[in-house]
Amino acid sequence: MSAQTDDGSQAAGPPLDRSGSVFPGVAEPTPEAMPMPNPPFPEFEVVPAVDLQGGEVVQLVGGERGTGKRYGDPVEAARRWVEAGARTLHVIDLDGAFEGERTNAPAVERVVESVDVSIQLGGGIRTAADALDLLDRGVDRVILGTAAVEDPGIVEEVATEYPDGPVVSLDAKGGEVVVEGWTEGTGLEPAEAAGRYEDLGAAAILFTDVDVEGRQSGVREEPVRRLVEAVGVPIIASGGVATVDDVVALRDARAAAVVVGTALYEGSFTLAEARAALE
Ligand code: AMZ
């Protein structure tokens, strides 16, 4: 979680005086009310996934309900990854992604309160008000999938208050962006859609290669390269990582970060091994 202090971002011009006649009656914002800049991934990171279903950690295969394996208590998992050196956790409310309601909110809150690293949270965040509320409460980044496709203006609304806050997920099945828990196609191609979200203020783009997700069958770098070439914001790659070579391949494809789930939970490699391979 990030502290919220004055970021001095008005340095290019005179500070806004909200206490004067322009906003009569509106108190000057306290330093605590201003978000501190926290741009995503100044250095390449391996980001453990904490995907939640029914309050427990799960890893699905290809994002399909009823598949995959359970890995117990989310707080234990989160602490384990932080102790192993994770600087960011990728927390997904899967019930939220499927149903549009964040039913794992209590478990998410326990995770957020129990670790002191950056948290990017997604799944079921469908309104700007919910996204802003989560950012106000200390979540570092909110991931918008379905809502960003249905109402792209939400991205802009969130970015206006938290420039480093909104991550847009453009997860693709067969080359097409999918939403509603990856059950519905959109007709969008990720690299084409990404530019529009960059213009709206997305701080980063999450790309999950759904066809290989959870299969531990290796990654495909090509779609990641296409996104990196299409936009200037960081690309967070996800899906299919089985070995440290996959991590290195995605770093070499110039992803800013890679999300790893099953391979870490199954002990295929450790975060320390990934770090060593990246040196
Ligand atoms: O596994 C799935 N079926 C799945 C998943 N992991 N479906 C969506 N998601 C993730 C996306 C994104 O981070 O990668 O949920 C988030 C999007 O949720 P929403 O509710 O904004 O569409």
Instruction: Evaluate whether residue 251 is within a structural domain.
Output: yes
- Do the beta carbons of residue 59 and residue 69 sit within 8 Å? yes
Instruction: Evaluate whether residue 67 is within a structural domain.
Output: yes
Instruction: Evaluate whether residue 221 is within a structural domain.
Output: yes
User: Looking at the 3D structure of the chain, how many domains does it have?
Assistant: 1
CA proximity to 36, closest of 129, 125, 153, 165? 165
Instruction: Evaluate whether residue 147 is within a structural domain.
Output: yes
Which residues of the chain fall short of a pLDDT of 70?
A: 1-35
Instruction: Evaluate whether residue 21 is within a structural domain.
Output: no
Q: Which atom of ligand 1 is nearest to the CA of 213?
A: 1
The CATH number linked to 85 is: 3.20.20.70
For residue 49, the enclosing domain spans: 41-274
Residue 168 in contact with ligand 1 by CB distance below 6 A: no
Instruction: Evaluate whether residue 113 is within a structural domain.
Output: yes
The pLDDT of residue 20 is: 38
Instruction: Indicate the pTM of the whole model.
Output: 0.89
The pLDDT of residue 15 is: 45
Instruction: Evaluate whether residue 159 is within a structural domain.
Output: yes
Residue 125 in contact with ligand 1 by CB distance below 6 A: yes
Instruction: Evaluate whether residue 29 is within a structural domain.
Output: no
Nearest CA to ligand 1 atom 1: 63
Q: How far apart are CA 209 and CA 95, in angstroms?
A: 20
